[in-house]
């Protein structure tokens, strides 16, 4: 068997301030940079991404891989038309060449372009038009995919992650290989059943490290074993303003209908997804009080500026709250915040050198979904504690083995608070992102992470009690913690509600 493999990853927050142009897919910060042909296989083999798992599974089955191209960009606003068409053209050129028996696609599932609402459905349809109705096309999807009818109908099979934080990305690639093997053995598409939930689930309620998601996803393997299916439940990315944004349950297999109906009955109970948030001030106050009682770190998630959900990782609401409550004076050198995306500040620190005192403006006031700007930048004197080149290999369970290219980076200290500053964007999902500028997370009392849930995989093990010592805070930012707060235009009104 010869399998054409390709990938395209983007999670689109249509309410975010910054679009994903072609350069965003070539930077290599949050995702590996665009790669084509054998270079793609060399770069992605062994990395905890779906395509990495599929490569290993394909080799184990004796399949020959025909590499096309793979690219990914940090979550943001719309993918530009130019970027999407460049990516598509690269893949289509290889599809036109032929010489393969099936197609595997490593997709996100929540991509929206300037000219196409459903970019993954469009990509699959373009491939289908070229290869005809009988050649198998299988794709893996992110747990936050906004799965469309077009995606389900144009592909032979789709399967999504089952963990958030996404520690099973490579395992999902292996599941995709299993689905492809089933499709080849059967000689036709398996039966398909799908049902969409009539409400949106906030990102912070979706963690599979917490209930109810933990129990719901733990039940999937048993349901699959009982029904002989391959089930998926995408909780969706609730910030893509088009008519098919929302959670979806689906399954492939002879008893797909029974399996989907069973799972749907469990996940569609809305009250179980309800979640409360703290303000930036209250989150800091609660953490300071708890920090005096434990020797372990406290973690605060700055969820509304998560660059993994469309934020730019540059707002200052939590930093202001820390400064206003003298957090750094109470625990000097033991309060850390990161990553703050501010290339100018990082370059100024690098130019001044370690030990220098620099007077700069840190952070940015950005437009938010409320119509008002986020908190103002922090203008102060900062001490340069460390500088670096931003090249860091991640070791946590999320993006194990990925080497991020974040450009000039620095650790800046202001009133006893350590701020990790970078010239590239990636959410704080790995302790190595602090260590690259000399901050040891284990030695901190309070750690503020610009992330919604992915941080849990590498940071929750640091805390004494995950129930009390991991706090989600709402500081002003581009990504609404409650998607019902967003100014929707295209999503049907009946779906805009949250529990």
CA dihedral 46, 158, 202, 71 (to 10 degrees): 50
pLDDT at 236: 98
What is the CATH class of 2-196+205-273? Answer: alpha beta
CA–CA separation, 492 and 499 (whole Å): 16
ω before 180 within 30° of 0 (cis)? Answer: no
Residue 326 Ramachandran class (φ > 0 left, ψ -120 to 50 alpha, else beta) = left
Composition of the chain by helix, strand, coil, percent to 5: 35, 25, 45
Provide mean pLDDT across the span 395-399. Answer: 91
pTM tops 0.85:
yes
Q: Report domain extents, the chain.
A: 2-196+205-273, 278-481
Q: What is the DSSP letter of 88?
A: H
Per cent of the chain over pLDDT 70 is 100
pLDDT at 387: 98
Per cent of the chain over pLDDT 90 is 94
Tokens 């503020």 correspond to: 448
Provide mean pLDDT across the span 421-434. Answer: 97
Half-sphere exposure of 88 (CA within 13 A, CB side): 21
In 3D space, the residue among 30, 34, 27, 58 whose CA is nearest the CA of residue 45 turns out to be 58
Provide mean pLDDT across the span 324-349. Answer: 98
Q: What is the pLDDT of residues 59-110, one digit of tens each?
A: 999 999 999 999 999 999 999 999 999 999 999 999 999 999 999 999 999 9
pLDDT at 146: 98
CA–CA separation, 452 and 201 (whole Å): 13
* pLDDT range class, residue 30, cuts 50, 70, 90: confident
List the structure tokens of 289. 């009080």
Residue 197 Ramachandran class (φ > 0 left, ψ -120 to 50 alpha, else beta) = beta
CA–CA separation, 212 and 168 (whole Å): 19
* pLDDT range class, residue 189, cuts 50, 70, 90: very high
Provide mean pLDDT across the span 193-206. Answer: 96
* pLDDT range class, residue 275, cuts 50, 70, 90: confident
CA–CA separation, 416 and 436 (whole Å): 19
pLDDT at 276: 85
CA–CA separation, 176 and 140 (whole Å): 6
pLDDT at 68: 98
List the structure tokens of 177. 């290989």
Mean pLDDT score of the chain, rounded to an integer? 96
Contact 483, 498 (CB under 8 A): yes
Give the contacts of 33 (CB within 8 A, at least 6 positions apart). Answer: 25, 26, 27, 71, 405
Assess whether pLDDT exceeds 90 at residue 208: yes
Q: What is the pLDDT of residues 148-168, one digit of tens each?
A: 999 999 999 999 999 999 999
Assess whether pLDDT exceeds 90 at residue 477: yes
Sheet arrangement for strand 192-196: 192-196, 248-252, 230-234
Decide: helix, strand or coil at residue 119. Answer: helix
In 3D space, the residue among 428, 427, 425, 470 whose CA is nearest the CA of residue 446 turns out to be 470
Assess whether pLDDT exceeds 90 at residue 390: yes
Strands 35-36 and 64-72: antiparallel
Provide mean pLDDT across the span 322-327. Answer: 98
Q: For 142-207, where are the alpha helices, taking DSSP H only?
A: 149-154, 169-186
Instruction: Considering only residues 400 and 352, tell me which one the structure prediction assigns the higher pLDDT.
Output: 352
Q: What is the DSSP letter of 73?
A: -
pLDDT at 17: 87
Residue 414's DSSP bridge partners are 417
H/E element holding 42? helix 38-44
CA–CA separation, 466 and 470 (whole Å): 5
CA–CA separation, 281 and 321 (whole Å): 5
**Taking the mean position of all CA atoms in its chain, how far away is CA 194?**
24
CA–CA separation, 234 and 290 (whole Å): 35
Contact 141, 7 (CB under 8 A): no
* pLDDT range class, residue 499, cuts 50, 70, 90: confident
pLDDT at 273: 96
Residues in the chain: 499
Assess whether pLDDT exceeds 90 at residue 177: yes
Q: For 301-399, where are the alpha helices, taking DSSP H only?
A: 317-324, 327-330, 343-352
* pLDDT range class, residue 371, cuts 50, 70, 90: confident
* pLDDT range class, residue 403, cuts 50, 70, 90: very high
Decide: helix, strand or coil at residue 429. Answer: coil
């Amino acid at each position: 068997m010869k399998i054409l493999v390709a990938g395209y990853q983007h999670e689109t927050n249509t309410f975010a301030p910054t679009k994903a142009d072609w350069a965003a897919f070539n930077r290599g910060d949050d995702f590996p940079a665009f790669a084509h042909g054998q270079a793609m296989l060399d770069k992605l083999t062994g990395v905890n991404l779906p395509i990495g798992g599929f490569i290993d599974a394909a080799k184990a089955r004796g399949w020959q891989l025909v590499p096309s191209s793979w690219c990914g960009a940090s979550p943001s606003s719309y993918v530009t038309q130019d970027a999407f068409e460049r990516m598509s053209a690269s893949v289509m050129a290889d599809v036109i060449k032929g010489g393969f028996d099936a197609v595997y696609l490593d997709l996100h599932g929540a991509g929206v372009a300037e000219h196409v609402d459903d970019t993954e459905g469009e990509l699959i349809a373009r491939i289908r038009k070229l290869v005809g109705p009988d050649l198998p096309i299988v794709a893996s999807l992110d747990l936050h995919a906004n799965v469309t009818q077009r995606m389900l109908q144009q592909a032979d099979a789709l399967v999504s992650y089952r963990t958030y934080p996404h520690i099973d990305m490579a395992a999902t690639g292996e599941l995709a290989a299993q689905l492809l093997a089933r499709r080849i053995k059967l000689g036709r598409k398996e039966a398909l059943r799908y049902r969409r939930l009539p409400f949106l689930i906030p990102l912070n309620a979706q963690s599979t490290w917490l209930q109810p998601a933990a129990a719901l996803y733990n039940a999937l393997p048993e349901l699959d074993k009982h029904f002989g299916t391959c089930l998926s439940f995408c909780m969706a990315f609730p910030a893509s303003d088009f008519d098919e944004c929302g959670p979806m349950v689906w399954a492939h297999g002879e008893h797909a209908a029974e399996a989907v109906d069973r799972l749907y009955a469990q996940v569609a109970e809305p009250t179980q997804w309800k979640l409360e948030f703290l303000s930036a001030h209250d989150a800091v106050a609660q953490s300071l009080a708890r920090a005096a009682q434990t020797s372990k770190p406290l973690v605060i998630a700055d969820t509304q500026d998560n660059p993994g959900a469309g934020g730019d990782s540059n707002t200052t609401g939590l930093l202001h709250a820390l400064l206003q409550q003298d957090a750094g004076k109470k625990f000097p050198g033991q309060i850390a915040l990161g990553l703050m995306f501010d290339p100018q500040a990082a370059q100024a620190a690098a130019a001044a050198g370690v030990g220098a005192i620099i007077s700069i403006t840190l952070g940015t006031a950005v437009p938010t979904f409320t119509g008002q700007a986020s908190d103002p930048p922090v203008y102060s004197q900062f001490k340069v504690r460390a500088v670096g080149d931003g090249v860091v290999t991640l070791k946590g369970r999320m993006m194990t083995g990925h080497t991020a290219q974040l450009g000039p980076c620095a650790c800046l200290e202001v009133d006893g608070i350590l701020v990790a500053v970078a010239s590239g964007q990636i959410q704080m999902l790995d302790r190595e992102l602090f260590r690259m500028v000399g901050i040891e997370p284990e030695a901190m009392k309070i750690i503020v992470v610009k992330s919604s849930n992915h941080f849990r995989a590498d940071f929750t093990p640091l805390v004494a009690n995950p129930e009390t010592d991991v706090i989600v805070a709402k500081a002003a930012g581009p990504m609404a913690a409650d998607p019902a707060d967003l100014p929707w235009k295209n999503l049907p009104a009946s779906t805009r509600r949250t529990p």
